[in-house]
Structure 1
Amino acid sequence: MSGKNWDRVPIDAQSVDAPLSQSAIFLVVTVAGDQPALARICSVLGELDDLVKTVGIRDLGGRLSCIAGIGSDLWDRLSPGRRPLELKPFAPIKGAVHSAPSTPGDLLFHIRAERSDMCFEFERILLDRLGPDVTVVDEVTGFRYFDARDLLGFIDGTANPTGIDLPASALISNEDGDFAGGSYVVVQKYLHDMQAWARIPTPEQEAIIGRTKIDNIEIDDDDAPRKSHKSLATIEDDDGNEYDILRDNMPFGRPGQNEFGTYFIGYSRYLWVTEKMLQRMYVGDPPGAYDRLLDVSTPQTGTTFFAPTRPMLQALVEGAQHQLPAAR
């Protein structure tokens, strides 16, 4: 959905608008509770851009980037009493058949590059600097699968906003002026039952997804009693205006462990849009007519973060450092 006043909002939104990469690492950690640990974490967050340059200079064509997202609890520790309007922990969703869990996470690092070794090296150095002050609760290495398909065989991210629609969909504007340019981030790690999916005939798979498998043509199911994943994930207001989010999903897997999945990551201007999309998937529209993709795709995690702009992140950590004991 197009937003207003974007020409008057200064934007430096980390690298939310970076194009789909060949490789990615999704790293979620929790932060130790003592104040010296928090001070040391702030020091590392303040040096993220320098770390990207340190690793990225080895191959500028590798397009290394890293987005840092901050969870609700950690945000309150860094900036008590001043927070983005919608920031809150991920709320678990209970449908009649399927549920979405809420899992811990203070920091999200979304690392992207055209080379997997650059993602690996950046994460290695980052974790070394974070040290024992953090605990890794989830770590997923994603890859681009052929022509941006998921492991179920369908092209992913077709409906992503582009051009001027991208910031209007993914970045906060004047409705929350103190945090303009930031973005709400929701992540979920899904595991797929590939054998169960393979038993479903292709026409039925296409009806579940809402697109044809080979050529990615959208299927119109507006009048169907059971909506597709595509339709359930489409959010409109009462006037028919569509609200988009920016997805940067990645497949991941370990065939030797029978692990196949999709890491969902959605950047949005309004957190409620992503929340409503997930409610429609799990509860159904009408209630009970849930997203049939969930019959073969099971969420393992669910966490919400806020990705501030670069200047906002610097101001946040500098403000916190003034209130905390010096890092040692």
Structure 2
Amino acid sequence: MHDEAWDRTPIQPQSVDAPLSTSAIFLVVSIAEGDEAAERVRDVISDIGGLVRAVGFRDLNGHLSCNVGIGSDAWDRFGQDARPAQLRRFFEVRGPVHTAPSTPGDLLFHIRSERADLAFELERLLLGKLGDAVTVVDETTGFRYFDSRDLLGFVDGTENPTGAGMAHWSIVGEEDAAFAGGSYVVVQKYLHDLDAWHALPVELQERIIGRTKLDNVELEDEPGARKSHKGLATVVDANGVEHDILRDNMPFGRPGAGEFGTYFIGYARELWVIEQMLRQMYVGDPVGSYDRMLDVSTPVTGTTFFVPSNDVLEGLAP
């Protein structure tokens, strides 16, 4: 007797909800003009799993992985019959004082590993295969800083969902069945003015962030007081339901060049959640009461991608 259940292969997402790694590379590229470049890119990214296995097999405890995100314009160039329901370009968010810019980028490669050399080797081989079909827009190497702190000195990612909540809030479901198992991802590269930040009293830093600095205890925003970063980054819909995203932020820096920053990367089941979070941070809630962290943290990039399931990614092969 034939059982149709045996024919149903579970949808395999990319490694969106992998644990936070020791090191990471965030690589954003643009695809060259012409059908030949687009076809070469499709060929490479559809077999990214094979490249990851080839490098990662050298040390399985290195937990090498690579998520591939595809931008809105690139998706159209790949000639697919359908597109993810919420995939669109990153829109500039202009507030009364600060602006989140929209910057170019057709593909995101989010490479993670417990070994920096494995991540490096995967990026080297990947760019070799892509060749002149792409141009690097941004390349940032991140690292874990002490107990998952950012360079401002606060623990980052405390409010990430855990357990089954990770997939629930970050992975597309049956609401967009053709792209179930995928995820929307937004990246922003922030540069910090550490001198200005360190000049602030710790108590004020804690009110701005919404947590204590030493022991990472959540602070409630006082009624009538200006909202903290934590408060503005919390998205609640009209029905009072709080919506989460999955962050995998990492610090980066070059002390010799005076460069210190945080690479924000947020995965979400629904793109509007991240977009609303950014509006609250930059425009303010209420309007004008923007996130005071932006006074010392300046975004220099902003791009949106869709990370398809492994099945859809492999199906992009020419």
For normalisation by structure 2, the TM-score amounts to: 0.96
2:91 match:
91
Question: What do residues 27-80 of structure 1 show as CA deviations (whole Å, max 9, x unaligned)?
Answer: 000001111111111111122111101110111000000000000000011135
1:49 match:
49
Task: Give 3-state SS (helix, strand or coil) of 1:312's partner.
Answer: helix
- Percentage of matched positions with identical amino acids: 62
1:195 match:
195
Taking the aligned partners of 1:181 and 1:57, their CA distance within structure 2 comes to 25
Kept in 2: contact 1:72–1:106 (CA 8 A) = yes
Greater displacement, 45-54 / 15-24: 45-54
Task: Give 3-state SS (helix, strand or coil) of 2:289's partner.
Answer: coil
Taking the aligned partners of 2:79 and 2:158, their CA distance within structure 1 comes to 37
Kept in 1: contact 2:249–2:262 (CA 8 A) = yes
2:148 match:
148
Q: Is residue 117 from structure 1 mapped to residue 103 from structure 2 by the alignment?
A: no
Taking the aligned partners of 1:222 and 1:177, their CA distance within structure 2 comes to 42
1:72 match:
72
Taking the aligned partners of 2:264 and 2:224, their CA distance within structure 1 comes to 26
Task: Give 3-state SS (helix, strand or coil) of 2:301's partner.
Answer: coil
Q: How far 1:314 moved relative to its partner?
A: 1.1
Task: Give 3-state SS (helix, strand or coil) of 1:137's partner.
Answer: strand
Kept in 2: contact 1:9–1:174 (CA 8 A) = no
Kept in 2: contact 1:9–1:173 (CA 8 A) = no
1:235 match:
235
Q: Over aligned residue pairs, what C-alpha RMSD do you find? A: 1.2
Taking the aligned partners of 1:80 and 1:207, their CA distance within structure 2 comes to 48
Task: Give 3-state SS (helix, strand or coil) of 2:253's partner.
Answer: strand
Which letter maps to 1:166?
M
Kept in 2: contact 1:30–1:134 (CA 8 A) = yes
Q: Is residue 273 from structure 1 mapped to residue 273 from structure 2 by the alignment?
A: yes
Q: How far 1:238 moved relative to its partner?
A: 2.4
Taking the aligned partners of 1:224 and 1:261, their CA distance within structure 2 comes to 31
Taking the aligned partners of 2:79 and 2:308, their CA distance within structure 1 comes to 13
Gaps of 5+ in 1: 1-7, 322-328
Q: Is residue 283 from structure 1 mapped to residue 292 from structure 2 by the alignment?
A: no
- Aligned pair count reads 311
Kept in 1: contact 2:11–2:311 (CA 8 A) = no
Q: How far 1:10 moved relative to its partner?
A: 3.9
Alignment of 1:125-140 (within 5 A): 125-140=125-140
Gaps of 5+ in 2: 1-7
Q: How far 1:9 moved relative to its partner?
A: 10
- Shift in alpha-carbon separation, 1:133–1:63, aligned structure 2, 3 A: same
